[in-house]
Structures are given as structure tokens and as C-alpha cells.
Chain A
């Protein structure tokens, strides 16, 4: 991966979205960004993309069968997620929204750990410290401030500079309207914090198009806050990887924040609770289908990888296993005990809560005495 040093000198890098792989699966050059990916790397990215989509498909189906309370599909956004997730090093930290399922997988969060909150047995489900992938945040934009604060912590720990680490904060296009996101941008700029804001502009905030959130391209917002913004083709895994890597490298070295706007499309519903046919044109969906992020990598592999058929078969087998594990695992998840909810409210003993818990326990025990 090569980065032209001057690329961030302007507050914006654009106006065109960075692209390294066309929708037809052909590599193209960009004057400022490149990735050096071998056929082996491409196979890995293809595998990540397919597994992420399969998890999504299975989870959507499980929600329809009543096994999950809700599911926010990431269908169509796989390249934005895998490309950015693969740009992270082990020492970096990601602060997701509630839709970064592909990022979760590449950070080592198990699919069943990820599904615990959507099954309704937990509000988290994975270890944010071990994975460097923090808990999902449902309040729109709130996590961008946590990410910025965490980045301020990295600064104080002397982790900026050579061998530094950085934070990747995920947000959507709708989140850019939230006050918390503007405050995160102000803080990150004022503190020169090592945080990259990764906006997946998927076109829609539930039923509201991006035009309802902004009158200028979102990446241009960054200029007003005093740091660079850049737009990337979010369905191009190579471009996302290249741009996010460069932005993270800059942050790690002390260059401060960057806003990356990955232009992609949410092919499915916002969550399984809404009906996108009520608010968007089927022609728009069809047009984006032609930009499918997985088909693009498959087409490239078709050109460059003589062993493609075996790769596809192997990834298909792996995806099948993942799906089966998810189907059985979700149904087998035990409900938490009724008193478990009291356990972790406070880190230190709390007399009032302990009393309430004891009363609840006694109430539950009274049924056992009767029967």
C-alpha cells in the first residue's frame, strides 16, 4: 500500500470517490491511493465478504422465524465493512453502531456472540477489550464521542507515533445530523485525536434519504471542522481498504482525525421492522444491485485467480457451516435467569439494589414453596 504524502494536505480529497476496482471487476489506478493485494489476499477478502453476507442472510431469516427480536441487515454494505475492518491492526479499536456485522467478524467476534443482543439474552455479548471491537451502540452517533475519548486516552498513553494505534468510529449518514457527531468532530480536531470517522453513507436513514440530512457531500463537512474528508466507493473493497489504511496510518502517526465517507447502499431494510418498499424506488435498488460488492471481487478473481472454482467451493462450504452453526446456536441460547439482571448494574456493592434483588428472589421462591 502506497500513500502519497500530500494527499491529506487539502481539507478535502475529492471530488470523485476513490475507486480501485470498477463494478465490472477491473482494477483502476488512483493518483493518491493504491493497495498491494496478492491473489491470496483477494481470496481472503472474498471469503470475508461472503461470510458476512451469509451471516446477514441467516440472521434475517432467523428474525422472520421469530428467533431474533430484531435484525439490522448489512446487505450491500459488505465491502465498506470488510475493507475498513481489514484496515485495522490488532492494536486499533473500533467503535461500531449496530450494523457493523462484517467488521465484527473480521475482528474475531463470534457470530453467536454477535447475535446474543438480537436474540434478547444480552445487551452486549462479546469481549470489547480482547477484540478491540466495542459494544454496539444503538443511540445514533453516541459512540463517535466514546471513540474520540478513547483516542484521547491513546494519546495520553503515548500510543501515538511510531508503532502507534488509532480508533475507527463508525457512523451512518443519518448520524451526521446528530449533535453528538458534531461535538465528536470538534473534539477530535481540537485534541488532534487519533480517530478516523468512517461514515457508511448507505443512502437512507430509515425512510429518509441522505438529502434530508445534508446539502453538501458529507465528506466535505470535515473541512468545516478543520480536518480532511475523503469520499470512497463503498462497494469497492480495495478502495475502502486503501483509504481507511491511509487514514488510520495518518492518525496513528499523530496527523489527527479524518472523515471517510464510504458511498454504499443499504440493499435491505433499515431493520427487519421497516418496509423499504414504502419509501424507495425499486429502480434505485436495481441500479445498486449492479454495483454488488461481492460480484466485483468475484469478477476480479475470475481474471486473476486460476484456482477460482476451488476457492468458491471452499468459501461456500464454510458459509454453509457458519449458517448451520448460527441456526442451531441461536435456538440453543439459554435465557438468562430472572435475577441475573441485578448482577452487573454496579461495579461496587449497592445496598439498595441488593435489597431489591433479595425481595425479588423471595417472591420467586414463594412459587416453589407452593408447588
Chain B
């Protein structure tokens, strides 16, 4: 997947001379995950910018570059390092289009390797998506497959709105075929990954793989789970989830982020409002505990896995 994102970036740089890549270590090193490997050599330092170390500076200068007509793609090295840039993202970047009544656009993409499961130290395994989905003016997306990653990064770059692009870092090494001819779904649409009849699982980013593994295990036990990859967290494609829940009657949402006040809570509320009478069970959420991301040796107890997901499925079916 890391290579697919790099290929998508390369194509965006080729297609539009206004596209820039910027961040700490994105040039010579190719990024700490090597996503931007080789771009500096081919596009030069005016377009692939090794920046000073300062997250507010990366996003704040990207805002200025966007006002000048550029399309900066910023790399934040790790999820837990985005917070120093928070003000620039939520106070400036998210609001400039609205503040100018549409006369200014700031098409900045913020790439953030996010989530846990790689045995990292503190601040390298967080899931900050809810901070950004709560901010109008931003789009927040997360690909779950290499093909989606390849296309979605290009869609994010060509989008006129600022996009927070969350890369599931523990899936960076996943491999699959790229279809570089036919563009997949639009960036804001959810995707039905696996049809099923008894329980809908809604997942995104790193937990889509977990959901598919759970569905495979459940099938051996004679259960039919439907898996939806949300892909976009803001806006949420609630219509796609609603259509699924009307068929299955049950919904379990799974994400790595803290369950409380999270994306799952929003989806649960909206689905309950929309299809209360179609639900056979309350919407259940599986995800992180309301604690700071724990030390790596215990992260397996924090991260939602197949067993915890199936436990929630069993609870939903027990109603």
C-alpha cells in the first residue's frame, strides 16, 4: 500500500505542476515509511520540499501556498505529531473557504500514517480522526486497500477542499493488484466489500481487514456477515450503511480510535435515527478503550481484533 500511495503521488505530480509534496524527511529519505521514495530525484526540491521540523509550519505554509494556487500534499510523520498543527488545520485551513464566502480555496492534503499494531513507542499509534471529523470544512478519508490508496490520494489532491488523508500504517505492507485504468468509487462513497445477510460490519482503514477476517471466521460457524468499508469519515456515506442495515437489521461499527465520542458513535446515532424500525438490535461499537494508547506490549488488548468483533456480533444476534 505504501508503494501504491507513492505511485498515486507521482501521478499527481506528473499531471499537475501545481502539486507539491512537503514534510519532514520526504525528500532525500523518501519519508520514514518511504512513501515518497524517489520523488525528489524526479521532481526536484521546488516540488518535493524537505521542510524544517515543525508541524504548524508545515500546514501553515501549505495554507499560504494553496492561496497562491498550489496543491500541497503535506506529510505528518506520525499520527501523534499532528497536534502541534491542530490550530492551523481547524482554525485556518478548514475555515478559509467559508470565511471568504467561497472566493478562496485551500486544496491542501494532510497525509497522516495512523493507527497502531506495529509495536511502536508512544505517540506513534494514535487514531485522531474524530478531532477532524468534528470540524466542518475538512474532508476525512482513509483507504483500506492498495488500489483504493492509489486512487484516493489522487482524488484527495484534485479535490478543491482540504482533505485529511489517514493512511493505515499497519497495512502499508499489504499487497494487491492495482487497476490503474479504471478509477474506483468517488472519494466520499462507502464500498460494500462483502455481501452478507445477518449483521453489517462497518469498518475503515486498518479495521477493514479485521472485519473481513471476522467474516471468514463467522462463515465457518454458519454466520453471514456483510462488510462495508466506509472509506470516507467526513462526509460519512450513511446512505450506504442504511441500505445495508435495512437488509441485515444489525450493525456493528469497528475502529481503532477510542469508542467514546467517535466515528462509530456518529454512525450509531444516524442509523438509529434513520432505521430504528429496521433494527433487530442496538448498534454496537468495537474499538479502543478510553485510555491513552497503551504501551506496545499490551496493544493487542486495546486494538479490536477478530475475537472482539465476533463477540459483538454474537451480542447483536442475541437480541
Q: Which residues of A contact B (CB under 8 A)?
A: 95, 122-124, 127-129, 134-135, 137, 139, 142, 144-157, 179-180, 183-184, 186-187, 190, 343-348, 350-353
Contact = CB atoms under 8 A, between A and B. Distances in A.
B235 A353 contact: yes
20 contacts: A128-B103, A129-B103, A135-B100, A144-B60, A145-B63, A145-B64, A146-B61, A146-B63, A149-B62, A149-B67, A152-B61, A152-B64, A154-B68, A180-B87, A187-B52, A344-B100, A347-B107, A350-B139, A351-B239, A352-B236
Interface string B91-112: 1100111111111110100000
A142 B91 contact: yes
Contacts of A151: 64
Contacts of B32: none
Given A135-B96, A156-B70, A343-B102, A348 B63 contact: no
B64 A146 contact: yes
A180 B64 CA distance: 13
B195 interface: no
Contact of A137 (B56, B68, B92): B92
Given A139-B87, A148-B60, A347-B161, 8 more contacts: A145-B88, A149-B67, A153-B64, A344-B98, A344-B100, A346-B137, A347-B97, A352-B234
Contacts of A123: 95, 98-99
B84 interface: yes
Nearest to A182: B54
Given A139-B92, A348-B160, A352-B234, A183 B60 contact: yes
B309 to A, nearest CB: 26
Nearest 5 interchain pairs by C-beta: A149-B64, A145-B60, A153-B68, A149-B61, A347-B160
A150 B57 contact: no
Contacts of B68: 149-150, 152-154, 156-157
B140 to A, nearest CB: 12
A10 B286 CA distance: 61
Contacts of A127: 103
A313 B7 CA distance: 68
B54 A344 contact: no
A12 B136 CA distance: 44
A134 B67 contact: yes
Contact of B238 (A137, A157, A180, A352): A352
A95 to B, nearest CB: 8
B65 A149 contact: yes
A95 B236 CA distance: 35
A119 B187 CA distance: 38
A183 B98 CA distance: 26
Given A128-B103, A351-B188, A352-B235, A145 B98 contact: no
Given A139-B87, A147-B64, A352-B234, A183 B101 contact: no
Given A150-B67, A153-B65, A348-B161, A124 B57 contact: no
Contacts of A148: 60-61, 64
A124 B136 CA distance: 17
Interface string B239-274: 100000000000000000000000000000000000
A127 B102 CA distance: 11
Contacts of A128: 67, 100, 103-104
**Chain A CB within 10 A, most for which of B46, B56, B66:** B56
Contact of A142 (B52, B60, B66): B60
A225 to B, nearest CB: 11
Given A124-B101, A180-B88, A345 B56 contact: no
Contact of B65 (A95, A152, A180, A346): A152
Given A142-B60, A153-B70, A345 B97 contact: yes
Contacts of B59: 145
A347 B65 CA distance: 17
B159 interface: yes
Contacts of B107: 347
Contact of B60 (A154, A180, A190): A180
